[in-house]
Amino acid sequence: EPKLSGDFAKLMKWADEYRTLAIRTNADSPADSKRAREFGAEGIGLCRTEHMFFDAERITHMRTMILAQDEKDRRAALKKLLPFQRKDFEGIFKAMNGLPVTVRLLDPPLHEFLPHETASQKIVAKELGVSAAEVAKRGEALHESNPMLGHRGCRLSVTYPEILEMQVRAIVEAAINCAGKKIKAMPEIMIPLVGTANELELLRKKVEATIEETKAAKKFDGKLDISIGTMIEIPRAALTANEIAAHADFFSFGTNDLTQMTFGYSRDDVNTFLPDYLQQEILNVDPFQSLDTSGVGQLVEMGVEKGRSVKKGLKVGICGEHGGDPASIDFCHKAGLDYVSCSPFRVPIARLAAAQAALNAKK
């Protein structure tokens, strides 16, 4: 296990005396959470729950859920996923005991989980009591030409609220289990890809109702510290951040999607024409790496300003790749963010960059 020690640890401690930005990490397993904590992470800024569904047994339930045609069958498959999710969250809350953990509800287009080989189509067919051909047909019907602009993020929770309910239930049950073991879970439930205030208003109500239902079902009357917020990763969300803030306890800038949608450059094809293209004196930075001069930063500043104009002191962070880039961290400090979140191995460099940013601001 990598640990900070000796002069390196001392240098980090000095950096911590100067920085005002908190440093969190992007992690979705207890092992990554623990590693990041050892590097000095002060919480999880992004737990991508989609990574939790690829294990053999889980993927079958996930596929069954997606390919089911009515809510009853979807709920039956989700019920089987619930114990896995609860265990995932309990492990992460334990690793981050006493620190905030931002859990993002399922984000990717559902078809990313679909079975393509006949063997796995047969397994799902058996679960659903239909033919393998029917499973293949239902899978094809989910195909989208531009899935990253399609049925993903909060749009999934609007269409299939039962997915949100399963995840929120798992978070709350995990937090209750932790409380019984004297572990302090501090979940922050994050809703992705919000573009209009109405989406967040609707889904927040569902999250709140599910929290209350779960507490009642578990006969838990203690206090749970759960906040509900959103990602700002669609340009429209930054432009209307004042409306969105009314329903959010926190914002987290998803600058990967925000860059993609602001420039119209596909984030999944950055290695095709883009590097050469940008070198034609088109842009002197890689916008997916650097926030400060790409123009996307202006949307971040606008989002912070509009959000805090209706909610003073609104907690704001960043969890896109830029959160681990020193120049972007300097920018985030100036924009008044509360924290940056980056991959575990970038946590030390982020601590240093945040200290440098604070010193630069004093100049």
Binding site for ligand PEP (CB under 6 A): 46, 48, 107, 233, 254-257, 319-320
| Closest to 62 in 3D by CA, of 85, 88, 92, 91 | 85
| Closest to 184 in 3D by CA, of 82, 100, 88 | 100
188 binds, among ligand PEP, Mg ion, none (CB under 5 to 8 A by kind): none
- Tell me, letter by letter, the H, E, C secondary structure of 4-44: CCHHHHHHHHHHHHHCCCEEEEECCCHHHHHHHHHCCCCCE
Query: Cβ 3 to ligand PEP, closest distance in Å?
Result: 27
Binding-site residues for Mg(2+), in ranges, read 233, 257
Residue-wise over 84-121: b if at least 16 C-beta within 10 A, else e?
Answer: bbbebbbbbbbbbeebbbbbbbbbbbbbebbbeeeebb
255 binds, among Mg ion, ligand PEP, none (CB under 5 to 8 A by kind): ligand PEP
Which of 178, 319, 332, 342 is catalytic? The answer is 319
Distances from the Cα of 92 to the Cα of 46, 65, 104, angstroms: 12, 25, 13
48 binds, among ligand PEP, Mg ion, none (CB under 5 to 8 A by kind): ligand PEP
Ranges of H-type helices in 184-337: 197-217, 235-239, 241-245, 255-263, 274-278, 296-310, 326-334
Nearer to Mg ion, 195 or 254 (CB): 254
**Degrees (nearest 5) of the Cα angle 155, 157, 162?**
155
Scanning 21-29, 31-39, 118-126, 228-236 for contacts with Mg ion by CB under 5 A, the matching segment is 228-236
Nearer to ligand PEP, 77 or 190 (CB): 190
60 binds, among ligand PEP, Mg ion, none (CB under 5 to 8 A by kind): none
Nearer to Mg ion, 229 or 254 (CB): 254
319 is catalytic: yes
Query: Cβ 322 to ligand PEP, closest distance in Å?
Result: 8
Binding-site residues for substrate, in ranges, read 48, 104, 233, 254-257
Query: Cβ 317 to ligand PEP, closest distance in Å?
Result: 11
Of positions 90, 188, 257, 338, contacts Mg ion by CB under 5 A: 257
CB 248 within 8 A of CB 229: yes
Give me the active site residues, please.
319
Q: Give me the residues that bind Mg ion (CB under 5 A), please.
A: 233, 254, 257
